[in-house]
Structure 1
Amino acid sequence: MRVCGIARQGAAKRRIGIVQTLDAGRMTQAAIYLDHNAAAPLLPEAREAMLAALELTGNPSSIHAHGRSLRHLIETARSRVAGVCGAVPAQVVFTASATEAITQAVCGSIKAFGVERLILSAGEHAATTKAAASTGVPLETIALDGEGRIELAALRQALALADEDGVTALVCVHSANNETGVVQPIGGINSLVGPTRHFLFVDAVQALGKQALDFAASAPDMMAVSGHKIGGIAGAAALLLKSHADTVRLIPGGGQEQGRRGGTEAVPAIAAFGAAAEAIEARFDLLRVSMLTKKLEAGIERLAPDTVIFGRGAERIGNTVAFAVPGVKNTVALMALDLAGVSISSGSACSSGKVGRSHVLDAMGVAPELSEGALRVSLGWSTTDDDIEGFLAAFSTVLSRRRKAA
């Protein structure tokens, strides 16, 4: 009995700890959130869809009524995701994350297409570069210009060399860079790869909801998108496949997703993804967000005229500002802003915990001492004018400390 009593006391303490952790989380959520490229706040429509799905019991692969109810939610979400991507529903394969979708595209292409060479831009997300490195297939990296755009002449040369060598290549590029917001010249890339016998994969994770996508009518053979970047929840993403790419597979499993991705689908996350896809166009007002971004940039430069905004001379998605102020270390700035209740990042959420140098900025030729001060502010559907004012006030304090230390 005494042992049981001790166990109950331990369980009670754990429950108290959980409640305290949840309370701390709620306090954090009340802060100014300007890290939408890492994850967008949950849309009300997505929350409602997720909760409705959680109320249902069953397996979507079952043929009884319970299973059919869940299957209906998945197919509704599939149609909604297809709609925002300019695709047809049959082209949408649900995965558990964008990293999985990217890995399926890269690794699955080796077997499905007989790919013998991978061609990547130097600014690709780590999910792509690490998937490519894991294949053992020869890899060619295409340089970026000083603004962060892929060098089209170098891509043309790489494709010509693949033709000379008689090998099939897979070209991997992102639509919009997650760190700088720089938009890649997808039209030019399409025109180079589309007419060839080579294949094209586009990482559209940051573009979804911010740029018009037209997968069905464009050159890419495959495209990856993710739910939590537009206001869904983590746990649902998608790989879009043209019909000739249906054999690009990674997880065989039990035949789900028409055999293209095994494993029981995470219906609540998928339903939230579908609801977010349907709602994002109305919720994400690009003109409003772009105006807030311009106000942010102007405010930063007013506070620090020597600010360097990365990719400023290129087309960028209208929600992202990547910048550095000479003499300000991003480690110091991030901690000070966090203490002030402002959440931003130093770059990719997959690596910013390390707060190291950005490979994207290195590829752009940014000086190391400037790259080490890089900060990224990314806005979204929930960003307000007060958020921008709050950030500028907090950043002003960071800069005042720099001036005092100088």
Structure 2
Amino acid sequence: MTRAAIYLDHNAASPLLPEARAALVAALDLTGNASSVHGHGRALRNLVETARAQVAALAGAERKQVVFTGSATEAITQAVVAGAKAFSAKAVVISAGEHAAVSKAAEATGLPVITIALLPSGSIDLDQLASVVAEAQGNLLVALHWVNNETGVVQDIARINAIVGPTGHTLFIDAVQAFGKLPLEFAASAPDMMAVSGHKIGAPAGIGALLVKAHADVVRLVPGGGQEQGRRGGTEAVALIAAFGAAASAIEGRLASADVQRLIARLEAELGSAIPGFTVFGETRLGNVSNFAVPGINNATAMMGLDLLGLSVSSGSACSSGKVGPSHVLAAMRVAPELADCALRVSLGWNSMSDDVDAFVVGYQSILQRHRARQGQAA
């Protein structure tokens, strides 16, 4: 299989699955509004409810616990901003490694924001979290990520659940990078709410979902005509929802498969053996992503060179207006700034192949050699 360009940025967005494309096109051919009671409306409603069951199955949730939203950012904002109000929170607790969608939502509550540190491993300092929870005066809304989008570090969700779950504080988990890669088991777990996203699992952008337990049904952000069982107003984007459901049904086991994990391990082994100073960030990582650095070549230079070779990677989150800048995650992990400025993120997914990794290893080494040669000439 020949491709003109090689896509290695699945943590930003996974390519559209054929099953999702087919569902999207089929739904676009239908006319009507899913809230209408006539035959056209009922056909659309059937697509929405089928997709709700498909997303619920992948998330280990009950069908009625799935609330479709316009994005994971919207779902996160509903959980944090509306959740803080609904549960009369006195403060919001986040970690220093949260995606901007979480940290900005926490700021938007107007409440005090307590930030839990990251350890050098990339894990959230759960001893600090336990102290904060134990000493809290009044209800907290705790909003933490399961898998870090930049490093792939998997947080100890069982211990987070044990720390927060029995206390009566409100627990929200950003499960965007975990969805489709790890079993969420939402219905049987401690979190009151979770957010998931369509375009991370091979659905189109513009669709996400908030998973909510029954007692969190009061967490509402967008008023309207009673759609989504009154929990999120606005006419449902049926085509996007149908594609989301199809992707959820098709993707299980493919985003972080053993094959994908072997490809990341090979990438790191080959670069690590060939390049002095090659450093990988994070421990206990999900196997589809590698965040690494080589001293002396900043990420902007490396990404430009890779892009010219048709290799698409990133330096971290894609949700910062396309800017390449310092990573707050690596800073929180106490990575030296001069090394953090060299960090690249390679993330693989359902259509990644061995040839992709081979091309990246060769391409990155060639860029590094040319860069070092120029630096030597300049010296």
Question: TM-score, normalised to structure 2's length?
Answer: 0.97
Give SS of 1:100's match.
Answer: helix
Match of residue 320 from structure 2: 351
- Residue 302 of structure 2 is matched in structure 1 by 333
Residue matched to 2:289: 320
Match of 1:81 in 2: 55
Deviation at 1:266, TM superposition (A): 0.7
Task: Give 1:186's aligned residue.
Answer: 157
* Residues 299-320 of structure 1: CA deviation (Å, up to 9, x unaligned): 2213313111000xx2111100
- Cα distance change of structure 1 residues 187 and 268 upon mapping to structure 2, 3 Å threshold: same
Cα deviation code 1:272-302 (max 9, x no counterpart): 1100000001544610100111111112213
Question: Does structure 1 residue 30 correspond to structure 2 residue 4?
Answer: yes
How far apart, CA to CA, are the structure 1 residues paired with 2:253 and 2:171? 30
The answer to whether 1:222 aligns with 2:196 is no
Structure 2 distance, partners of 1:185, 1:284, is 20
Structure 1 spans left out of the alignment, 5+ residues: 1-26
Map residues 69-108 of structure 1 onto 2, 5 A cutoff.
Answer: 69-108=43-82
1:51 paired residue number: 25
1:253 partner letter: G
1:194 is paired with a residue whose SS is helix
Q: How does 1:167-182 map to 2 (within 5 A)?
A: 167-182=138-153
RMSD of Structure 2 on Structure 1 (CA): 1.2
1:307 and 2:278 are equivalent in the alignment: yes
Are the structure 2 counterparts of residues 266 and 30 from structure 1 closer, same or farther at C-alpha, using a change threshold of 3 Å? Answer: farther
Question: Of 243, 246, 250, which aligns to 2:221?
Answer: 250
CA contact (8 A) 1:173 1:203 kept: yes
Q: Deviations over 1:13-52 (max 9, x none)?
A: xxxxxxxxxxxxxx9x830000000000000000000000
Structure showing greater radius of gyration is 1
Q: Does 1:376 align with 2:345?
A: yes
Alignment correspondent of 1:139 = 113
User: Which of 134, 158, 173 is 1:202 aligned to?
Assistant: 173
Letter in 2 for 1:173: L
Q: Is the 8 A contact 2:254 2:349 kept in 1?
A: no
8 A Cα contact 1:235 1:266, kept in partner? no
Contact 2:256 2:288 in 1 (8 A): no
**Amino acid in structure 2 at the alignment position of 1:192:** I
1:389, 1:370 → 2: CA distance?
24
Q: Given residue 152 of structure 2, which amino acid in structure 1 is its aligned partner?
A: G
Candidates 105, 123, 129, aligned match of 2:103 = 129
The residue type equivalent to 1:31 in the other structure is A
Q: Return the letter of the residue paired with 2:306.
A: L
Q: Which residue of 1 aligns with 2:259?
A: 288
Task: Give the Cα separation in 1 of the matches to 2:267 and 2:273.
Answer: 10
One-letter identity of the residue aligned with 1:138: P
Q: Which moved more, 1:356-365 or 1:274-283?
A: 274-283
Question: Structure 2 stretches of 5 or more lacking a match?
Answer: none
Alignment partners' CA distance in 1, 2:155 and 2:6: 30
Alpha-carbon spacing, 1:329–1:391, altered in 2? closer, same or farther (3 Å)? same
Percent identical pairs in the alignment equals 61
Provide the rounded CA distance (Å) in 2 between the counterparts of 1:54 and 1:296: 40
Task: Judge conservation of contact 2:23–2:239 (CA < 8 Å) in 1.
Answer: yes
Q: Secondary structure at the match of 1:75?
A: helix
Q: Distance in 2 between matches of 1:253 and 1:303?
A: 58
How many pairs were matched up? Answer: 374
Kindly indicate whether the alpha-carbon contact (under 8 Å) linking 2:84 and 2:92 is maintained by their aligned counterparts in 1. Answer: no
Q: Secondary structure at the match of 1:144?
A: coil
1:216 match: secondary structure:
helix
Partners of 2:4 and 2:29 in 1: how far apart? 28
